[in-house]
A and B are shown apart, each in its own frame.
Chain A
Amino acid sequence: MTAPDKHALLRQMLRIRRFEERCVELYSASKIRGFLHIYIGEEAIAAGVISALRDDDAVVSTYREHGHALVRGVPADAIMAEMFGRSTGCSHGRGGSMHLFDAQRRFYGGNAIVGGGMPLAVGLALADRQTAATRITACFFGDGAVAEGEFHECLNLAALWRLPVLFCCENNRYAMGTVLEREHAATDLAARAASYSMPSRVVDGMDVVEVANAAQEAVAAVRAGGGPYFLELQTYRFRAHSMYDPDRYRDKAEIAAWKKRDPVAAMLAHETDLDALEQEIAAEIDAAVRAAEAAPLEPVGDLTRHVYAEASA
């Protein structure tokens, strides 16, 4: 175990925060259309967990995945262009916010279906086990996914076959607008994972150093062949579920209380040259927006492509 690099973790969290703040502006200006789910408040999880992975490990994500993609190394240009629906986007502009995908970086996608990524993650891990690879798959999902049938099938399969999956439950307490207590008869999600015979642990998802330490331990255990591992990362989204959500189901005092535990603000004191960092990040985002605005839409002639496999030339 190495001590987490606080500067690097803050840098990743701040990239997500500033990138998404810009996305909100661009959405209001109708430059970004469709659905948009903002991760602000939850950045410590993407930064802490994905920083603990190797480049050849796989990541499977959710529809709130901009942060996971950024930390994974999907270029901000390719993500922003995807949001704009441009052909230079990481999914050629066909996916938009919920379907960021980059096979080269083993980022196997955002997924619009709650729990939809879980069977894919178990499949990736099964393939690695069959070929004796030492890489692992990190699978992100929310507390809402725990109520889906696939969650239980996947935890059982991964534990039964001792597959190298790191299950990362981003418990932000709300499945869209339904609070945890109205969604689950048993609200201790880590205990339910433990019932499938795998190590399971609750982590403060608002503390990036705690997340990074827990992730390092979990990744090492999975890579050593110990089978799957479950992290329940307790967190909170500071903004509404999506841009369409008027957020009437949460108490303002509850939101304010969680905002006092802002994972980004908590780390700012550790940064000696915040101005330089902010400038570096602003330049990265400015360039991404400029490139997206200048990029072409997909030609109409391509409409029927990418449906069936094409014969190589």
Chain B
Amino acid sequence: MKTTYREAIRESIRQAMREDERVFLMGEDVGAYGGSFGVSPSGSGTRRCPSPRSSGAASGLPWAGCGRSSKS
């Protein structure tokens, strides 16, 4: 099978979002802009969290989000 990095990332995000409704996208310009590298699947609503340029905070945020959402 032949693919590109870009398509592989796009497909893995798509699959993760399809398999678990709690999965959401967080990052710069994942909303109206449509993803600056063209890898985030299109869409809107609560499963898109366009975020400010806060890379320090972003390194900790998903960790806690994952730890929390795997339970209850």
Contact = CB atoms under 8 A, between A and B. Distances in A.
A and B are interacting partners: yes
Nearest to A106: B68
A301 interface: no
B62 A150 contact: no
A213 interface: no
Interface residues of A, number: 24
Given A123-B62, A131-B22, A153 B54 contact: yes
B56 A119 contact: yes
Interface string A120-133: 11111011101100
Contacts of B22: 130-131
Contacts of A240: none
A161 interface: yes
Contact of A123 (B24, B52, B56, B61): B61
A283 interface: no
A116 interface: yes
B63 interface: yes
A288 interface: no
Interface in A74-129: 103, 108, 116, 118-124, 126-128
Contacts of B54: 153-154, 156-157
A108 B63 CA distance: 11
B69 A121 contact: no
A119 B69 contact: no
Interface in A16-52: none
A127 B57 contact: no
Interface in B11-39: 22, 24
A248 to B, nearest CB: 32
Given A119-B61, A123-B61, 5 more contacts: A108-B64, A118-B60, A123-B64, A124-B65, A154-B57
Closest 5 A-B residue pairs measured CB to CB? A119-B60, A123-B64, A153-B54, A153-B57, A123-B61
27 contacts: A58-B68, A108-B67, A118-B57, A119-B57, A119-B58, A119-B60, A119-B61, A119-B63, A120-B61, A122-B57, A122-B60, A122-B64, A123-B60, A123-B61, A123-B64, A123-B65, A123-B68, A124-B64, A130-B22, A130-B46, A131-B22, A149-B56, A153-B52, A153-B54, A157-B51, A157-B52, A160-B52
